[in-house]
Amino acid sequence: MRYAGDVKITFLGSGGAFTDFRQNYHNNALVETGAGPVLLDCGFTAAQSMRELGIHPGALSAVLFTHLHADHASPEQVIWERYYSGPHGFPEFKPTRLVAPGELLSPMKASLEHYIGIYSDPTGTVRDDGVDSLVQFEHTREVEIGGVRFQFFRVPHVHGNNIDKAAFGVKITEGNKTVMWSGDTTFSPDWVRRAADDPNVTQIFHECTFFPHFRGTVHTHWNELLTLPDDARSKLTLMHHTAVPDGVDIEAVADAARRHQIFEL
């Protein structure tokens, strides 16, 4: 049972970029708001996962992005489904609201120009203003949707050699409860410890990979999360891990998210 002021999150998937889709989907989630669900990251498996949940993309109030990788930022399918279909089979011609910091949305807009720029409108007229007609771009680091506040914060995902790819975590707040969402990030324990110490933070969803640490990794590894103190790990739910290998003591953290799992926090 969800109470007003709880944050409700449904995982479309908790898999990594190379997941076998018979096992899991990309690490995308629906956040319930008073204006309808917000899709937090939209990989190319999001539409299939929503179909299995019986949720048409037309129900979405907005799509938010943490960074530009295919398992997080492939919204073309959802944009077309909202425009050319509907829950009853008829086209509803709905535009899609895309929300993210400008560092992400500007290049995404330029890329989408070539995918959805040219289309056929409800009168059957072929037009070339698809990017402006099918999508509402909202460049921001903070937005409130249906009573839920989303605040983007920078994380280090692919960084080094004086290069730092734009990547963000998201702080999600409803009432006096806050849930942290790491996005894709290498291990950066400072904000995790601060969040763990904040009594309003009920959960920290953190990416995790169980692959052995290797040169060139851009993710957080299980053995790194184990270096966090007990009180921080007790608020940690793993995501982006695909599956927990046999022999891993998952009791060391709060949980590991599964495809279609619902959290009410």
For Zn ion, the binding residues (CB under 5 A) are 17, 69, 71, 184
Residue 27 or 173: which CB sits closer to Zn ion?
27
In the complex, the smallest distance separating the C-beta of residue 66 from Zn ion, rounded to whole angstroms, is 8
Q: Are 64 and 137 in contact (CB under 8 A)?
A: no
Question: 22 in the Ramachandran plot: left (φ > 0), alpha (ψ -120 to 50) or beta?
Answer: alpha
Identify which of residues 166 and 252 has a Cβ nearer to Zn ion in the complex: 166
Distances (CA, A) of 249 to 236, 246, 255: 14, 9, 11
Smallest separation (angstroms) from Zn ion to the CB of 71 = 4
Where does residue 89 rank: exposed (0-12), middle (13-18), buried (19+ CB within 10 A)?
Answer: exposed
Q: How far is the CB of 242 from Zn ion (least distance, A)?
A: 11
Nearest to 94 by CA among 124, 62, 141: 62
Q: How far is the CB of 31 from Zn ion (least distance, A)?
A: 18
CB of 100 to Zn ion, least distance (A): 14
Choice between 69 and 235, CB closer to Zn ion: 69
Q: At 120, is the secondary structure helix, strand, or coil?
A: strand
The nearer residue to Zn ion, 28 or 96, going by C-beta atoms, is 28
End-to-end CA distance of the chain, in Å?
A: 11
Name the residue nearer to Zn ion (CB basis): 173 or 220.
220
**Cβ distance 46 to 56 under 8 Å?**
no
Whole-number Å distance between alpha carbons of 237 and 204: 6
- Taking the complex as a whole, the smallest distance from the CB of residue 127 to Zn ion amounts, in Å, to 34
Give CA–CA dist 184/103, Å, rounded.
Answer: 16
Task: Identify which of residues 43 and 58 has a Cβ nearer to Zn ion in the complex.
Answer: 43
Q: Which is nearer to Zn ion, 119 or 152 (CB)?
A: 152
Residue 67 near residue 165, CB atoms below 8 Å: yes
Minimum Å distance from CB 10 to Zn ion? 18
Q: Is 160 exposed, middle or buried (0-12, 13-18, 19+ CB in 10 A)?
A: exposed
Nearer to Zn ion, 158 or 254 (CB): 158
Query: How many helices (DSSP H) and strands (DSSP E) are in the chain?
Result: 7, 18
Minimum separation from the CB atom of position 43 to Zn ion (A): 8
Instruction: Give the chain's radius of gyration (CA, Å).
Output: 18
